[in-house]
Amino acid sequence: MTYTVGILGATGAVGQRFVQLLEGHDRFEIGALTASSSSVGQTYREAAKWTLETEIPAYVTDREVIATDPDTVPNDVDLIFSSLPSSVGEEVEPAFCEAGYVVSSNSSNARLDDDVPLTIPEINPDHLDLIEVQRDRRGWDGALVKNPNCSTITMVPTLAALDQFGLERVTVTTLQAVSGAGYDGVPSMAIIDNAIPHIGGEEVKMETESRKLLGEFDGAGVTWHDAQVDASCNRIPTLDGHLENVFADLADDPSPAEVATAMREYSGVDLPSAPSQLIRVFSDPDRPQPRLDRNVEGGMAVAVGGLTSTDGGIRYNCLAHNTLRGAAGASLLNGELLAERGFL
């Protein structure tokens, strides 16, 4: 079955990734592209300051950009992908849900609301059933589903694989690419030959979202995982790919080889955009690296290396493509899960 989808914020950095990923998709076809008022009425070619490594896909170049409003989106659209800034999304996304649209959103607003599924299909697909709680509580015919922050989604699959060893505490330092801040997010003179040891709100997102994602759904709500998570987030002058240094304290004492096996064998999910192997483990101590490994499995897998025992558990490095696995690709997977589970 083919579903018609819309993209909110289609001209931005993450919106462009949606356009790229949806080209030739076997279940989804684009029925609406929205953007800010300054772009409304223009063709996508005119409105989008295309920043990706490929040309604008021909199938959208002459599509008209419409307003980001439920009244302008065609009624036959089955699913909305949102890449809006959170300040816009917190007002606009509920309006779409009230109008009956199902929204798979990359925006940070509402991720921690107790009736909003925060979902990674390979990690917690059962959390999607919060939609029924959400609809009962809010009176919506539509629904709102979130994927996590781009730095959170890099780390959480590895933590899910470690949970069998008794995950107790996590300390993480991130080295995050400039694309995570959007096209206009970091001035060139601030980041070239530099590193910025602060990303506003990022630490809190990692420390909270990871515990909700790893939590247990009981049919009415999610009980967060009780592991302590502490994060320090840094911006560095790489274009794409968030690299993270993780220290995990574990109740058990697994060897690096046992951890590597657990990560390699961590179960995937049978969805069109899912990687064949969620976690790719490198034996080389100097891997993963953003330039070499951000496109593993088409940018949809997490790369891991440097597995080393510590007094309390395990230390390692992990990496994911922040605008593919960490943003548009994550929302796309959630959209595929919504279709698979019959919510569209």
What is the rounded distance in angstroms from the CA atom of residue 282 to the CA atom of residue 303?
7
Whether residues 108 and 173 fall in one domain: no
Our answer to whether residue 233 is catalytic in this structure is no
What is the rounded distance in angstroms from the CA atom of residue 343 to the CA atom of residue 171?
36
State the CATH number of the domain containing residue 261.
3.30.360.10
Cβ burial of 40 (10 Å; 0-12, 13-18, 19+) is: middle
Whether residues 181 and 74 fall in one domain: no
Containing structural domain, residue 22: 3-149+327-340
**How confident is the chain (344 residues) per 10-residue block, as mean pLDDT?**
97 95 97 96 96 92 97 97 96 97 97 98 98 98 98 98 98 96 87 96 98 97 98 97 98 98 95 97 96 97 98 97 97 98 97
Whether residues 121 and 155 fall in one domain: no
Whether residues 79 and 131 fall in one domain: yes
Cβ burial of 339 (10 Å; 0-12, 13-18, 19+) is: buried
Could you say which of 127, 225, 242, 321 is catalytic?
Answer: 242
| CA 205 to the chain's CA centroid | 12
What is the rounded distance in angstroms from the CA atom of residue 133 to the CA atom of residue 117?
10
Could you say which of 150, 225, 233, 321 is catalytic?
Answer: 150
Whether residues 143 and 157 fall in one domain: no
Whether residues 95 and 213 fall in one domain: no
Whether residues 116 and 52 fall in one domain: yes
Whether residues 94 and 232 fall in one domain: no
State the CATH number of the domain containing residue 21.
3.40.50.720
Looking at residue 183, its pLDDT comes to 76
Looking at residue 177, its pLDDT comes to 97
Q: How many domains does the chain contain in total?
A: 2
How do 79-82 and 3-8 pair as beta strands? parallel
Q: Where are the beta strands (DSSP E) in 166-227?
A: 167-176, 216-217, 222-223
- Exposure string of 221-256, with b = 16+ CB inside 10 Å and e = fewer, is ebebbebebebebebbebebbbbbebbbbbeeebeb
Q: How far is CA 64 from CA 80, 199, 210, in A?
A: 17, 35, 38
Whether residues 160 and 270 fall in one domain: yes
What is the rounded distance in angstroms from the CA atom of residue 68 to the CA atom of residue 143?
17
Run of H or E residues at 160? helix 150-162
Q: Are 14 and 328 in contact (CB under 8 A)?
A: yes
Our answer to whether residue 150 is catalytic in this structure is yes
Structure tokens at 285: 């101590």
> What is the model's pTM?
0.96
Whether residues 238 and 287 fall in one domain: yes
Looking at residue 184, its pLDDT comes to 78
Whether residues 159 and 137 fall in one domain: no
Looking at residue 182, its pLDDT comes to 83
Whether residues 296 and 336 fall in one domain: no
